[in-house]
Amino acid sequence: QYNKFVKPAFEQYIEPTMRLADIVVPRGGGNMVAIDLIVQHVQSQLEERELSVRALLASVQQTQPLPQTLSVLESTPQVRGLHTIIRNRETSRDEFIFYSKRLMRLLIEHALTFLPSQGCVVQTPQGHQYEGRSYNGRGITGVSILRAGETMEPALRAVCKDVRIGKILIQTNLDSGEPELHYLRLPKDISEDHVILMDSTVSTGAAAMMAVRVLLDHEVQEDKIMLVSLLMAELGVHSVAYAFPKVKIITTAVDKNLDQFFHVTPGIGDFGDRYFGTDGFDSWSDGEDQEQLSL
């Protein structure tokens, strides 16, 4: 049986591909020494590239202007007033939720202006023609980065009737300090959709970049991804723009700095804790949960 089926199949299908391989491991999965060496080499290369990219991002952030892919909601008196309320540490939770939702609605409306459109003609009830515009795309999908990004879903549903929603949970590994994907639920067939990626705040951009990578792995086109956030730090903006130059970045404000705990300053506090009422401001100021570290 070996000579009749196994060996001919190996010679016909497997052996020709060996000349294209970078590494051939004798005895396959049983060669633990070779596998361990490969794993160590890959890990060392990833660490070297990660360190060089971080250093480059830091230098870019210090010397370069904000990227052209960034769009900041016009700072009207209304927008400034909403920021004043939600940034104020004395604002009650009810008021924080109410005015955050108002700002989210304005932000989502602003983001929709960047969707592709085409000219169209409709008939008015009086029988006249009106030359307008309509969305020129297959569909719109909203993806929230849990947990705080989920707070933006009602605003998106309020203005996009048939929008589909996906969710991504990314948390920080306390040992390595790197973001890790813990949960993923995306609608089927999103590769041709325009995707609105939602998060409440972006500080370093680590979680946002991982979320974008997940979308790219699901064959979403980079130029069809919009990262939408209430507040961003300059470092996070530069990080995302450098890694994914075709992703549109949309926010209501950009703060310049991060403190030693990766809080955006002057900032808004821990948005998730303030919105869901899971922690008091005093305890937040003494530390930071896993979610905030990965933003």
What is the pLDDT at residue 242? 87
Neighbouring residues of 88: CB distance < 8 A, sequence distance ≥ 6? none
Alpha-carbon span 179 to 177, nearest angstrom: 7
Whether 97 and 230 map to the same domain: the answer is: yes
Q: What is the DSSP letter of 194?
A: E
45 pLDDT above the threshold of 90: no
Number of structural domains in the chain: 2
In contact, 118 and 112? CB cutoff 8 Å: no
Whether 94 and 190 map to the same domain: the answer is: yes
pLDDT tens sequence across 52-100: 444 455 555 556 788 899 999 998 999 999 999 999 989 899 999 999 9
Backbone angles phi, psi at 146, to 5 degrees: -70, 150
CATH (domain of 212): 3.40.50.2020
Q: pTM for the complete prediction?
A: 0.72
* Domain that residue 193 falls in: 67-293
Whether 51 and 105 map to the same domain: the answer is: no
pLDDT tens sequence across 200-259: 888 888 888 889 999 998 999 999 999 999 999 888 898 898 889 999 999 999 988 877
Distances (CA, A) of 149 to 21, 29, 129: 42, 41, 41
185-197 burial string, b = 16+ CB within 10 Å, else e?
A: ebbeebeebbbbb
Whether 196 and 276 map to the same domain: the answer is: yes
pLDDT tens sequence across 92-123: 999 999 999 999 999 999 999 999 999 999 99
Whether 206 and 118 map to the same domain: the answer is: yes
Q: Place 13 in a pLDDT band, splitting at 50, 70 and 90.
A: confident
Whether 18 and 50 map to the same domain: the answer is: yes
Whether 188 and 271 map to the same domain: the answer is: yes
Mean pLDDT taken over the chain:
83
Whether 187 and 228 map to the same domain: the answer is: yes
Whether 32 and 103 map to the same domain: the answer is: no
